[in-house]
Amino acid sequence: MSETMRFDDRVVVITGAGAGLGRSHALEFARRGAKVVVNDLGGGGHGEGKGSEAADRVVAEIQAAGGEAVANYDSVENGEAIIRTAIDNYDRVEVVVNNAGILRDASFAKMTDSDWDLIYRVHALGAYRVTRAAWPIMLEQGYGRIVNTASAAGIYGNFGQANYAFVKRGLIGFSNTLAIEGARKGIKVNVIAPVAGSRLTETILPKDVLEALKPEFVTPLVVRLCAESSTESGSLFEVGAGWVAKLRWERSQGACFDPKAELTAEAIDAAWDRIGDFTGAQHPTTIQDTFGPVFGNLGITP
Ligand SMILES: NC(=O)c1ccc[n+]([C@@H]2O[C@H](COP(=O)([O-])OP(=O)(O)OC[C@H]3O[C@@H](n4cnc5c(N)ncnc54)[C@H](O)[C@@H]3O)[C@@H](O)[C@H]2O)c1
């Protein structure tokens, strides 16, 4: 198959690009002609320490392959400095991949305030700050591609990851809203929930599985979502090991009660099977899809 998705002269910012998924994204965007800002704080997997080696190593790899890249060592909490690196070196930014991440797993009973705060700061505040700094530039140029990195934990929940699940699900609502706000300005925003062998998964997956779950199986979807030709926006994908799938909401037809009469818990209990019956289910995609049945029950056309 011929390679149609090129990024020549495009500037791509990838956070947490010193290892794992981010490194794989950085190498592939650079191979396809992009000028890449390789951001990485270079600390440990639980948010401790920092260093320049991780980002430098990936920049060197890109340059050795004939590509163009510059390192940035800021924490994503300092998103403005990361975007400034793009502007100072390349004068523009077209693509942002919010990927940096750490884990602070603990059952909720044992989770400390610092476990909660650190996960919030890296995944939520970090994605916000980087995106917030790039957003006016994208609005002004009428073009942008953003991919945020969520997790199956955020979609489904996972034992020991209340902090992580909270922020990862938050990124989905964040992306959906930016997809709406960016629609008329050529900005496409999507979310992925990847599975890959990396420092973050090395303690929970067996070695042979880790080796098979190459980050390189996730990167092509990110590239596809960031391509100039892509019209996809506001979507969520699960991806890993060569499997790519799109998710959507499913809503039962629900039960309607007389809005002029008193509604009781017992009446809801009596309709419980109907409320949870997915026969003839709908697939809402906008907030207006919520107003439909709500106003419909009142006999009002919104
Ligand atoms: N690997 C998986 O199976 C998996 C599953 C679901 C979600 N994710 C998400 O994918 C993303 C990448 O994870 P990975 O598996 O490649 O892990 P990784 O540890 O290999 O890479 C994450 C990188 O982010 C960097 N980083 C951490 N905090 C940072 C900060 N404050 N500022 C800048 N850089 C920072 C780290 O130094 C590291 O190089 C994360 O957001 C993670 O939550 C991964």
Structure tokens at 196: 């890959």
Domain co-membership, 189 together with 226? yes
Domain co-membership, 273 together with 227? no
Ligand 1 center to 184 CA (angstroms): 31
Q: Which atom of ligand 1 is nearest to the CA of 215?
A: 16
Does a structural domain hold residue 143?
Answer: yes
Could you tell me the end-to-end alpha-carbon distance of the chain, in angstroms, rounded to an integer? 48
Structure tokens at 81: 């400095």
Domain co-membership, 146 together with 57? yes
**CATH classification at residue 32:** 3.40.50.720
164 with 200: CB under 8 angstroms? no
Does a structural domain hold residue 295?
Answer: yes
Domain co-membership, 156 together with 302? no
Rounded Cα gap, residues 5 and 14, in angstroms: 18
Domain co-membership, 216 together with 256? no
Kind of pairing, strands 68-72 and 95-98? Answer: unpaired
Give the residue numbers spanning the domain of 158. 11-247
Overall pTM surpassing 0.95 (yes/no): yes
Does a structural domain hold residue 82?
Answer: yes
Q: What is the pLDDT along the chain (302 residues), one digit of tens a residue?
A: 778 999 999 999 999 999 999 999 999 999 999 999 999 999 999 999 999 999 999 999 999 999 999 999 999 999 999 999 999 999 999 999 999 999 999 999 999 999 999 999 999 999 999 999 999 999 999 999 999 999 999 999 999 999 999 999 999 999 999 999 999 999 999 999 999 999 989 888 888 898 899 999 999 999 999 999 999 999 999 999 999 999 999 999 999 999 999 999 999 999 999 999 999 999 999 999 988 888 889 998 76
Mapped onto helix, strand or coil, the DSSP state of residue 243 is strand
- Strand-pairing partners, residue 190, are 147
Ligand 1 center to 145 CA (angstroms): 20
Residue that has been written with the tokens 């979807």 in this structure = 221
Domain co-membership, 192 together with 180? yes
Whether residue 15 has its Cβ less than 6 Å from ligand 1: yes
Domain co-membership, 73 together with 221? yes
Does a structural domain hold residue 3?
Answer: no
Domain co-membership, 218 together with 190? yes
Domain co-membership, 122 together with 173? yes
Active site includes 143? no
Half-sphere exposure in the Cβ direction for 89 (13 Å, CA): 21
- For the chain, the domain total comes to 2
Rounded Cα gap, residues 69 and 138, in angstroms: 20
Domain co-membership, 72 together with 215? yes
The dihedral of CA 165, 166, 171, 177: what is its sign?
positive
Domain co-membership, 234 together with 264? no
Q: Which atom of ligand 1 is nearest to the CA of 44?
A: 37
Domain co-membership, 301 together with 266? yes
Q: Which among 9, 22, 13, 112 is positioned nearest to 61, based on CA atoms?
A: 22
**Length of the chain counted residue by residue:** 302
**CATH classification at residue 269:** 1.10.287.4290
Output the DSSP codes for 200-231. TTTTTS-HHHHHHS-GGGTHHHHHHHHSTT--
Whether residue 154 has its Cβ less than 6 Å from ligand 1: no
